[in-house]
């Protein structure tokens, strides 16, 4: 049995979590202030995921804030950033517009803010 210490990033409280591991699998989570922390910890020790945020250059040169619409595997972020850097768009766009469908198996790339 081993213990992994994490800080929950699901809300600003940042609970200190301890995950007991057995044979590479989480068997218990302590320190979470709510159920989201338990789920976060269980996912983080097996397959960590993050929402990717960046910008895409519109054809007129304006930078458009973008993000993945779901968390993606951390191991895929480098490839996703390469695709984002090759992406352009035409204005106008609005928050939530899909710029790249299925930028990963799990997510689309969407507009995240006003250009």
Residues from 4 through 63 that contact ligand SF4 (CB under 6 A): 8, 10-11, 13-15, 32-34, 36-37
The minimum distance between CB 63 and ligand SF4, in angstroms, equals 31
Please name the residue that has the structure tokens 């994490």: 6
Count of chain residues binding ligand SF4 (CB under 6 A)? 11
Question: Would you say 16 or 81 has its CB closer to ligand SF4?
Answer: 16
Q: What's the order of all strands across the beta sheet hosting 2-7?
A: 2-7, 16-22, 25-30
Q: Are 17 and 9 in contact (CB under 8 A)?
A: no
CA-CA distance, 50 to 71, in Å (whole number)? 4
CB-based contact 41:32 (threshold 8 Å) = yes
Rounded to a whole number of angstroms, the minimum distance from the CB of residue 104 to ligand SF4 is: 24
> What's the closest the beta carbon of residue 70 comes to ligand SF4, in angstroms?
18
Residue 65: CB minimum distance to ligand SF4, A: 25
Neighbour count for residue 59 (Cβ, 10 Å): 9
Residues forming contacts to ligand SF4 in the complex (CB under 6 A) are 8, 10-11, 13-15, 32-34, 36-37
């Amino acid at each position: 049995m081993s213990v992994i210490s994490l800080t929950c990033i699901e809300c600003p409280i940042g609970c200190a979590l301890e995950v007991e591991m057995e044979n590479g699998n989480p068997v218990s989570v302590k320190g979470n202030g709510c159920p989201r922390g338990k789920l976060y910890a269980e996912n983080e020790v097996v397959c960590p995921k993050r929402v990717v945020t960046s910008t895409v250059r519109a054809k007129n040169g304006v930078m458009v804030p973008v993000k993945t619409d779901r968390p993606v595997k951390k191991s895929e972020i480098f490839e996703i950033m390469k695709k984002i850097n090759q992406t352009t768009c035409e204005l106008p766009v609005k928050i939530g517009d899909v710029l790249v469908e299925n930028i990963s198996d799990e997510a689309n790339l969407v507009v995240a803010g006003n250009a």
